Chains A and B, each alone.
Chain A
Amino acid sequence: DTGVSQDPRHKITKRGQNVTFRCDPISEHNRLYWYRQTLGQGPEFLTYFQNEAQLEKSRLLSDRFSAERPKGSFSTLEIQRTEQGDSAMYLCASSLGGTGIGEQYFGPGTRLTVT
C-alpha cells in the first residue's frame, strides 16, 4: 500500500492556460473523490467516481472543469482557461466501497497558483 499520490505537487500557470492534475488512488480502492481547498477553509467536494463512472459533480465544478477516470484506475482533473479564483489546493481521496464505512485516504494535494 503506497497511499494516494498526486502529480504535480505544485503548479503555477498564467490566467487563461489549461492545466491537468493526476491522482493515483490506493490500488484496490474503487471510489475516488476530488476536493478543493482554499486558504483558511476546509476541503469542498468537487466530484466522485465509482470505478470509471462519474456519479456526482458539485455545482462548484463549472464547465471549465472536467474529470475522468479511465478504466477505473488513476484520475485526471483538467481546468480549462484558468482564472485567478481557481488558485487552491486540489485534493484527491480514495476509499474502498462496500458495506463498510469506507473512510477516505487523502493524497498530498496539488497546489495551483494562477497568476
Chain B
Amino acid sequence: AQSVTQLGSHVSVSEGALVLLRCNYSSSVPPYLFWYVQYPNQGLQLLLKYTSAATLVKGINGFEAEFKKSETSFHLTKPSAHMSDAAEYFCAVSDHGGATNKLIFGTGTLLAVQP
C-alpha cells in the first residue's frame, strides 16, 4: 500500500530565504508523486508531478522537487520565498497500482513567510 509522510506540520521562513518542505513516500510499485498547494478556503492546485521520467521536476511558481529513490523522498524546494507562497502544501502518491489512481495525501505542511 502507498503512503506519504510529511515532516514538519509548520514551517516558517523569511522572505527571500530557501523553502524546503519534506516528503517521504512508501510504495509497492514505482510511484507517481505530486505536490499540491492549498490557499485558505480553496481547493488544491497542482504544483508539480513526478512520473518516472526526470528525477528533478520543475513546477509552477518557481518550485521544484527531486525524486530520490534511495531515500524514498520527494522534497519540495524554492530558492527564494515570496510572501505569496504562504499556504498549505500537500505531498501525494497515486495508487496507480490499482484501477482508480486515487491520491493518498500526507497531512500537509503549513508554510509561513515572514517579511
Contact = CB atoms under 8 A, between A and B. Distances in A.
Interface residues of A, number: 27
A102 interface: yes
B107 A95 contact: no
Contact residues of B: prevailing secondary structure: loop
B107 A45 contact: no
B99 A56 contact: yes
Nearest to B101: A102
A109 B45 CA distance: 12
Main secondary structure of the interface of A (DSSP, over half): strand
Interface residues of B, number: 27
Contacts of B106: 42
A45 B106 CA distance: 12
Contacts, number: 65
Contacts of A45: 102-104
Interface in B35-58: 36, 41-46, 49, 51
A33 B102 contact: yes
Given A40-B108, A55-B99, A55-B100, 12 more contacts: A4-B43, A33-B103, A48-B100, A48-B102, A56-B100, A56-B102, A93-B103, A101-B32, A103-B34, A103-B49, A104-B103, A106-B45
Interface of B: 9, 32, 34, 36, 41-46, 49, 51, 90, 92, 94, 96, 98-108
